[in-house]
């Protein structure tokens, strides 16, 4: 993304209630942008809005949404367009994983991972693309994963969803290249977030990936006073 002045830019962030999405929201607010926060956990969104106001005097907005419910995605984005005349950046960060050997994976988990990580991401993107095309301006940032490039045992299905995100992002980038819209995919390696409580409750992956894992912050969330 070209380096830009982010002051007053409107940034929609899915998966903003926790981990990477939460940090992205704080970083954008620090630069003067206005984050619109999306996730299912209303309490966490409310506390993040407060943290953003207390630290940066920016009034964020929050929207409770399960991105796998495509009808609700439409409703929430329609609300956003009533509240804001434009969206400058969409950051698709909502996602989760369940790490299992494929032979043991539950079909419900497989469907849900695709519904959130791939279809939910596309549904949110679909809501902003026509608007960005009309304005000939916008940025779409998809948080994929190193698992989108490299699949490993027990991340089989999660990695498949992230491969889908990369395939989608690569095609969309080409479709929108001459329309003033940039499409970026981000492929982080392991980062210490609550993601692993669901992905790997036994802690085996975290133990193996430990020396490669990054922290989001120097201080743990519990020490940050928000
Ligand atoms: N941590 C890592 O090592 C790592 C590495 C590479 C990529 N990633 C990717 O980074 C993204 C963020 O992960 P994280 O590590 O920050 O995990 P996290 O702390 O568990 O955050 C996940 C976020 O996604 C939201 N979310 C989950 N399901 C949702 C749904 N159905 N609808 C709306 N929001 C939903 C959660 O909010 P609610 O529960 O409030 O809905 C939460 O805000 C994910 O896409 C993940 O695949 C993570």
pLDDT band, residue 3 (cuts 50/70/90): low
Q: Is the CB of 17 under 6 A from ligand 1?
A: yes
User: In the prediction, which pLDDT does 218 show?
Assistant: 38
Residue 159: DSSP 8-state:
H
217 token code pair:
């912050």
Give percent of the chain with pLDDT exceeding 90. 87
pLDDT tens, 32-54? 999 999 999 999 999 999 999 99
Tally Cβ neighbours within 10 Å of residue 50: 12
Does residue 74 form part of some domain?
yes
Q: Is residue 224 part of a domain?
A: no
Residue with the two structure tokens 């894992």: 213
Which phi and psi (to 5°) does residue 9 adopt?
-70, 145
What is the total count of domains within the chain? 1
CATH code of the domain in which 111 resides: 3.40.50.720
Q: Across the chain, what does the average pLDDT equal?
A: 94
Task: Count how many residues are written for the chain.
Answer: 226
| pLDDT tens-digit readout, 56-79 | 999 999 999 999 999 999 999 999
Confirm whether 3 is domain-assigned. Answer: no
Q: Which residue has the higher pLDDT, 45 or 3?
A: 45
* Beta-bridge partner residues of 63: 38
Strand partners, 35: 11
Q: Exactly one of 53, 63, 101, 158 is catalytic; which is it?
A: 158
- What spacing in Å lies between the alpha carbon of 107 and ligand 1's midpoint? 20
Give the pTM.
0.95
- Per DSSP, the three-state class of 15 is coil
Domain that holds residue 94: 10-217
Mind listing the pLDDT tens digit for each residue in 94-131? Answer: 999 999 999 999 999 999 999 999 999 999 999 999 99
Taking the alpha carbons of 55, 42, 76, 111 in that order, is the dihedral positive or negative? positive
Is 72 exposed, middle or buried, given 0-12, 13-18 or 19+ CB atoms closer than 10 A? middle
Q: How far is the CA of 215 from the centre of ligand 1 (A)?
A: 15
């Amino acid at each position: 993304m070209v380096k830009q002045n982010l002051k007053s830019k409107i940034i929609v962030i899915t998966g903003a209630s926790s981990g990477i999405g939460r940090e992205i929201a704080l970083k954008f607010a620090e630069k003067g942008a206005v984050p619109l926060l999306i996730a299912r956990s209303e309490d966490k969104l409310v506390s993040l809005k407060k943290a953003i106001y207390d630290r940066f005097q920016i009034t964020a907005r929050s929207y409770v949404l399960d991105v796998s419910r495509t009808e609700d995605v439409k409703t929430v984005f329609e609300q956003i367009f009533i509240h804001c005349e434009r969206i400058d950046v969409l950051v698709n960060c909502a996602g989760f994983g369940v790490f299992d050997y494929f032979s043991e994976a539950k079909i419900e988990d497989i469907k849900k991972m695709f519904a959130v990580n791939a279809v939910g991401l596309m549904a949110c993107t679909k809501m902003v693309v026509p608007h960005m095309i009309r304005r000939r301006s916008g940025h779409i940032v998809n948080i994929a994963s190193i698992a989108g490039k490299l699949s490993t045992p027990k991340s089989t299905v999660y990695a498949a969803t992230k491969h889908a995100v990369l395939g989608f992002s690569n095609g969309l980038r080409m479709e929108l290249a001459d329309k003033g819209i940039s499409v970026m995919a981000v492929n982080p390696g392991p980062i210490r977030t609550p993601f692993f409580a669901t992905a790997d409750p036994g802690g085996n992956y975290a133990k193996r990936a430990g020396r490669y894992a990054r922290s989001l912050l120097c201080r743990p969330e519990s020490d940050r006073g928000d």
